[in-house]
Structure 1
Amino acid sequence: MKSLFGFLVALCAAHAGVLGLTLNYITVNSSYTFPYASSVDITTSNPSIKTVFMVIHGIAGDVQTSFGNMVALTSYDSSIAVVAPYFACDKSIPIQANTLMWDCNGWQEGDPSAQLSSIYSFSMADRLLQIVRSSFANLGQVYVVGYSAGGQFVQRYLGGSTVALSSKLNTNVGFVVGAPGSFMYLDTHRVKSGISFKAISNECNPSGCSLSISNFTTNYNPSPSCPGYDQDKYGLSDVQTQVPFTYLSQFTAGTISTQYQGQSVTYMVGSMDTAVDSILDTTCPAQAQGENRLQRSLVFNRYLQLYFPQAWSAPQVVVGCTHDELCVFRSSQFAAATKLTFQNLPSSNTTPTSRSMGVPRASIPVLGATMLALGTLSMLLI
């Protein structure tokens, strides 16, 4: 009970500050600034920090949600720091007048900023990692974590970043890709267009995936046609010729694929993340990957297992979670992947909901108004 109370107090305290989020800024090319949130001052030397979580927000620019969730999950350990870049595409959060802005979808795939064509969204993630590496002399582990649109960012970023590498940062680097709406495939293989979503589900579900090489093709050709299924953020066919030129465009497809296969990646998704709604990408290139986020995650993982086994790791499907970041990240699978020691993991008979905070319902009254406010924070778009 004492440890539970301590966790709840920390959770309340963490989110009370986040509800009034304070953004910090780094200067870019002397004329512009880039905002981020952090649990500690990342510009000052701090030998006590051993682990950094860089968490990427969702499509709605909900940095306060993703940052707050991760602070709440890690606040029991003072050696952990959380940093969250903010890719502003509107003024929903007050920002400085000279803040770099991004296309509301393009930041997920490494697009340039609206003001400076040479500064990409991935460049700013690189910059933050360089800062924490410089400030935290005893840093032993970095995790780059994203859910939904943030998961899309992380899954693409890990294949091209010139900084997010253990060899560059001289520390361990791991990635968590949570329930992205689509994936960047490493080559042109896709499940054959003649195989229905229902048939895919029969072969590929949370209990296992038995899709075989005979189910895939390098000539995905549905009717009507889908010529862009391996272009832009969905693949690497046009990585060096796409418009706009992105961070990844400086590399060949082969270079990206090779780096991707050498990274340490955990893929996570909820077992109930099957909604097909207005915030899910339903374009032809996305549907070439599956019907919904769960199916797309399982199919992509099986694809890696068949064609890029060095990049494969068993998918972490969190039972009972819908498209809910905190439900997934409060799981024992996330704790195992990131070496966290949660003080109040849900019991096996706890059924998470779309707003689950990962604590027993009986504990909710203890948290009062702050906890009730948190219910609105755990929802992320796409």
Structure 2
Amino acid sequence: MRNDPASRVGRRWVRRLLVVAFALVAAVLVGMGAALVVPRLSEHAAAPRPPDLAPAAEPAAPHPGPRATAECTVPEENDDEDSEDSDDDRRSESAERRCIGELPLGAKRSLRYYSSYPLSGNPEVTQAIVVVHGAGRNARSSFTGMTQEVAGQRASDRTLVLAPSFQTKEDDPAGNEARWTDEAWKEGGDATKPAGVSSFDAMDKIFDQLADKSRFPKLNRITLAGHSAGGQFAQRYAAVGQAPDRLNGVAVNYVVANPSTYLYLNPERPDLTDAAGKRFAVPKTSCTDYDAYKYGLRDRDRYAGGEDPAQIIRRYTTARVTYLSGEQDVESEELDTDCQAMLQGANRFVRSELYLNYMKTFFPSAPHNRAVVPGIGHDRADMFASEQGVQALFGGPNPNGAPIR
């Protein structure tokens, strides 16, 4: 190879020309990439998405078009007594207020509720989960728990979560807020104020607004879920609730988790001497009102009493219902032990099993199923976070219309 001065100069010029060429090619490629990326960035910048309530285990799948974002989040409750007047607490209270709505019920009374989107409407919401609190009437906790489950499913952008608050006088409701007795709200009884308004009337209003296509044009599914006393509410509403009958283009599912008792549709009850739990007969009992509402269809209250029993049976046996049962929910704490309840079984787990057997016996075509949650007792959060709970809430019972199992 030549190494004279002229050759060295020539090689230097060749290297310089190659550097310039590579630089020009890189500049062209960068420019083409920017042209592709910038429109995508500007598309998402128009509707930024805040972080979900719970961290996801992996990135969300791509979602075409603009994304809806939840209007509000409720922070975890702060147990630090020294932080009551802190800026963080004030911001938390402000964020929580954005989640609280008031549903007018007449006579200048209203029902308080928590909701992740306003009931005035949202064009991107496709499903709603209405979750009913338990006997402690902690709607806030029910709301935060369910919004976390929705976030874990990466569904916050299309799912409205709503938790009504059925208050009693012990909750010290505001002067304009409706209130019930401790038992009435669970079974659709009338409020003490305003008179003549059932807790099921309130749920009817919620369903009507969710199914209003001028408010929620894409919403096609409502799930009513409840645990314990909330499960009692959901199961009775599935039978006597009237709004679902008039909804068009909206499917309704019910998730009934660990209720203390069930509404039976005829006078037969489980033969508790049958170890298999599959025999049913009219019981020989001194409990003369065992078949009265809320345990049976006799002596129904104002809301439920306006219909023929055949209509109630038709509605319930065509409703899509999942019974969630905690395998360890066998304790007697807060269990209904009245004679009407004890004819349904010894504890919540047994009552759930016997009730499904009852439905199989008398109404085998009903689209109902039962899912046992292994190792879980009477715990709302664990029940809904379980594999079985997630399937019931987001997969839906019997999606192909399969009969009871």
TM-score normalised to structure 2 length = 0.72
Following TM superposition, by how much is the alpha carbon of 1:249 offset from its aligned partner in structure 2, in angstroms?
1.1
Aligned residue for 1:164, secondary structure, equals helix
Which whole-Å deviations, capped at 9, do the CAs of 1:85-107 have from their partners, x for residues lacking one?
A: 11101353x64312111011111
Q: 1:152-191 maps to which residues of 2 (within 5 A)?
A: 152-165=232-245, 168-191=247-270
CA contact (8 A) 2:103 2:112 kept: yes
Report the CA distance shift for 1:312/1:229 in structure 2 as closer, same or farther (over 3 A).
farther
Which amino acid counterpart does residue 217 of structure 1 have in structure 2?
A
Per-residue deviation, 1:117 = 3.3
Contact kept? 2:173, 2:179, Cα under 8 Å: no
- In the alignment, is the contact (CA less than 8 A) between 1:305 and 1:312 conserved in 2? no
**Aligned-partner Cα distance in 1 for 2:293–2:239:** 14
Equivalent-residue separation in structure 2 for 1:275 and 1:147 (angstroms):
15
Match of 1:351 in 2: none
Q: Identity rate of aligned residues, in percent?
A: 27
* 1:216 match: 280
Partner of 1:33: 110
Which residue is 1:115 aligned to? 193
Give the root-mean-square deviation of aligned CA atoms. Answer: 2.3
**2:289 alignment partner, SS class:** coil
Q: 2:390 aligns with which of 304, 323, 335?
A: 335
- The aligned amino acid for 1:168 is L
How far apart are residue 115 of structure 1 and its match? 2.2
Runs of 4+ in 1 over 4 A off after TM superposition: 17-21
AA at the equivalent of 1:187: N
1:58 corresponds in structure 2 to 134
For residues 67 and 282 of structure 1, do their structure 2 counterparts lie closer, same or farther at Cα, with a shift above 3 Å needed?
Answer: same
Q: 1:340 offset after TM fit, Å?
A: 5.7
Distance of aligned partners of 1:320 and 1:15 in 2 relative to their CA distance in 1, 3 Å threshold: farther
Whole-Å separation in 2 of the counterparts to 1:329 and 1:15: 19
Which runs of structure 2 are paired with 1:79-228 in the superposition (5 Å)? 79-92=158-171, 95-134=173-212, 135-165=215-245, 168-192=247-271, 195=273, 200=275, 203=276, 211-212=277-278, 215-218=279-282, 220-222=283-285, 225-228=286-289
CA distance in 1, matches of 2:222, 2:128: 5
Q: Please say if residues 198 and 303 of structure 2, whose CA atoms lie closer than 8 Å, have aligned partners that are also in contact.
A: yes
Other-structure match for 1:308: 363
Aligned residues between the structures: 309
CA contact (8 A) 2:106 2:194 kept: no
TM superposition shift of 1:5 = 7.7
Kindly indicate whether the alpha-carbon contact (under 8 Å) linking 1:271 and 1:318 is maintained by their aligned counterparts in 2: yes
Secondary structure of the corresponding residue to residue 302 of structure 1? helix
Give the distance between the partners of 2:173 and 2:117, measured in 1 at CA. 20
Distance 1:15 1:322, change over 3 A: farther
Larger radius of gyration: 2
**SS of residue matched to 1:328:** helix
- Structure 1 unmatched runs, 5+: 8-12, 204-210, 240-244, 342-382
Displacement of 1:312 in angstroms is 5.3
Point out where structure 2 has 5 or more consecutive residues left out of the alignment: 1-54, 61-71, 79-92, 397-405
* C-alpha distance in structure 2 between counterparts of 1:24 and 1:18, whole Å: 19
Match of 1:317 among 365, 372, 380: 372
Q: Secondary structure at the match of 2:235?
A: helix
Q: Distance in 1 between matches of 2:77 and 2:144?
A: 6
Post-superposition offset of 1:164: 2.2
State the alpha-carbon separation in 1 of the partners of residues 351 and 139 from structure 2.
Answer: 25
CA distance in 1, matches of 2:77, 2:130: 16
- 2:46 counterpart of 1:46: no
**C-alpha separation in 2, matches of 1:118 and 1:169:** 27
The one of 49, 57, 61 equivalent to 1:4 is: 57
CA contact (8 A) 2:73 2:116 kept: no
> Structure 1 312/292 Cα, relative in aligned 2: closer, same or farther at 3 Å?
farther
Deviation at 1:62, TM superposition (A): 1.2
Give, in whole Å, the separation in 2 of the partners of 1:70 and 1:295: 26
How far residue 169 of structure 1 moved from its aligned partner, in angstroms, is 4.1
Aligned equivalent of 1:230, options 279, 291, 304: 291
Output the TM-score relative to the length of structure 1: 0.76
Q: Distance in 1 between matches of 2:393 and 2:382?
A: 15
Shift of residue 259 of structure 1?
Answer: 0.7
C-alpha deviation, 1:339, in angstroms: 2.5
**Are the equivalent residues in 2 in contact too, given 1:321–1:327 (CA < 8 A)?**
yes
Distance 2:107 2:194 in 1: 12
User: What letter matches 2:380 in structure 1?
Assistant: E
Matched, 1:72 2:148: yes
